[in-house]
Chains A and B, each alone.
Chain A
Amino acid sequence: MIARLGGDEELARQLVTLFLDECPRMMAEVRDSVAQGTPDLVRRAAHAFKGSVSNFLAEGPTVTAYALETIGRDGRTADAPAVLARLEIEVDALVAQLRAFDASR
């Protein structure tokens, strides 16, 4: 993860703090968009979350957020809740990992 952030541990810690602050708001937007079932909102919220989470890793929640973005783009919102459920699990795991990293200084 540190390599993906440019190889700088201090910077990585700053970015983790920013992400942990922002993550609840961004995930709330993703949840709201799925609940509303509006394709463009789903696409936008998932795209924004994907951008932020992709700063840390290319797999897991980044791939799932992209799947949700694609669902929004294609207007297949009926498929969104299942993908959102997977995203929630992956994000919880990532957040736990980042909190552990944050606490390890």
Chain B
Amino acid sequence: MTAHETEQATQHGPGAGHGTAFWGRAHEAPSEEFRTVGRSVRRRDLVEKVLGTAKYTVDVTMPGMLHARVVRSDRAHAKILNIETSKALSQPDVVAVVTADDLVHLRARFGHIISDHFILGTGKVRYFGEPVAIVLAESRAAAYDAAELVDVSYEDLPAVMTAAEALVKDAPLVHDVLYDATADATFKELTESEGEEDEGPHLTNVAHEVTIGWGDVDEAFANAHLVVETETHYPMLYGYAMEPYNAVASYNETGLTVITTAQHPYMVRDDLARIFDLPLAKVRVQAPYLGGGYGTKSYTKVEPLAAVASWVVGRPVKLMLTVDEAIYTTRVDDGQMRMRTAFDAEGRILARDYELVMDSGAYADNSPLVLAKSVNRAFGPYRVPALRGRGRSVYTNTSPASSYRGFGAPQGNLCGETNLDQAADQLGISRREIRRRNLVKWGEEILPKNRGIDADLIADLDMVVDSLERDRKDEPYYGIGFGTAASDAGAYPISTAQVKVETDGSVIVLSGSTEMGQGSTSLLAQVAAEEFGIDIHKVSVIQSDTGAVAYERTTGASRTTTLAGLALVRACADARTKLREMAAELWSCDVSEVSDGPGVVNGPEGKSLDLGKVVTRWFGGSAGEVTGVGLVRREGVTKEMPPFWETGMVGVGVKVDVETGQITLDQLVTCADVGFAINPQAVEAQDLGAATQGLGGALFEELVYDGPQLANANVVDYRVPRAGDMARKIDLLLAERRDGVGPYGAKGAGEGQLNPVGGAVASAVAQAIGRWPSRLPLTPERVWRLANNISDDD
């Protein structure tokens, strides 16, 4: 296909931040200010993973466990008339077949925002692939064989397969009842919408609706010099974590234990406790390493299936999904958006007015929150004096949609950024210049009453555009596109951490965060090593076990560095305080005469004791342990929301083959504004990974429905980026201005560089071929038709 030249990214001087060459920051001499953080340390989880000793849920077994295989609906919308299980039950080694009838004494619905999600199809099925029964057998083979013998009879109901169909007046209802909102205070705050009418129960397929706005939008449009209207469609995607969902559950007299591929073990615990009416303390959820998460493993997925199965048979149950089953468990919301922007003669935004519709599938899962964030993020990090934004998350008879990296930002960013570029082109201003005129400056608000932006976006923009222009190729059909985004990230600031100092001065960190490849394990070790002034090899980290570590609300929204990190810093400080007090007692001096040193406590007259010795001497034997606790809630530095803004600043250079429509990626430039990179190499790694997933949605990926089912619920027909698609030049930049509330001035990272990719690619292609795309992914055929002015009907 395409040839790739070896290309060393160029060195260039910093703007207001550290501009770096590819992997450059990772190989720069670390600053003298810190011992451990700010360095690209060798991640301990990577070593386990290359050795093949790293444990994932799929590797877990429990003695006496049964294997589960789910029987799934082959209809998009149908009443369940009967489930014939006798043939399956008569097979050798088959122990049970669980259906919704077995769950009537449980609260057999879950959902952390709207509890609309039936564990097993009840009364009717709402999408092709919905779980209807669970076959349990002594071996996986027996479970698979028997599952084919379960016979479900249906009565078809009319289905709504697109958001447009679902919004038609009197369309068939996916859900014909109203459910309780499970939403706790944190969700209510985040999904609250002003101007939402609380009418009587007039049911539609709208799962959630959000509006935001300020200023006088109509007046702004009336007085505008230029109005640009843009309509775009961002595709329905599949996150494709390479490890599909799986879980091992054991329900017995001591309670419920579930080992699972969950990013948020504590949120899953909440759902499971509700289902079984168990005290939280009796539900233990553990997550080993996750084989990819990207938000697709946020909140409850297959744990209830495994747990109810175990509850029914009284033995542990292991449930492993295949990739197609995973696609029929959770996918990503698409986004159909229409935006109008009013500009003055200088290209300054006077108002933005937009409407977004998301096809959220058969169950709400996290879509209401994704929608709310998408509406918040669609107008971009710009000064917008008047705004009207509206979004609807719509139920359809398709696979349920939920969180994915970017969390609603990519869907709206595509529209907002291409809209801005179109205005620039029409006004004869450069696309860089129009952004310079509109981007907010450090500290300026974009969302009223929220934290002002904590990044220097214009400096970041210049770094990216300079890099792109420097390597622009003077060839026909070559185009450059770039985009900016800011996400109100961090989710909710509730976090705790514990740290235990042992008798030899080594330290154990307890955190409820999970390790899904983003580097949380190593990062927490770095922070603890830094805070105690000890070698990182003396720190171990235990995570993601609700029965054994410290509470963490969620691992996602790029929040772990800032919030779990902050909790850990506080835990270390708490432990240090205790150790100082203990040392003061041992030295019979006042606490004010005692201070912290690296791995030691220092006292009057040059006295000094290793931390471990403080412990043993205080306890009076070679025994004991000192625990520090750190808590984070909405107060102090984390009172303002969001805890931090996660920015995205991405540019691409593309070459288009107008004969075939194929796009070759020539340049990829990203700039992450992270405050402080605790592990620079890990940040760059996350940025490239995020941008690559963004390129997937921009160029290749799209779930396509064909009648009631997906035409491409597999990774042959659902095409993800591969090594051969890499850009010739990759430039990953980090801006570190120590402007975050996290440890050492850190903010979050991991999602930002995905968000502007779709818009950047669309703009680059528009520059290359002279016509504006409005629909992603930009498959070769779409580009060919656009470039050659061939209509879709031809």
A-B complex is real? no
- Chain A residues within 8 Å of B, Cβ to Cβ: none
- Chain B residues within 8 Å of A, Cβ to Cβ: none
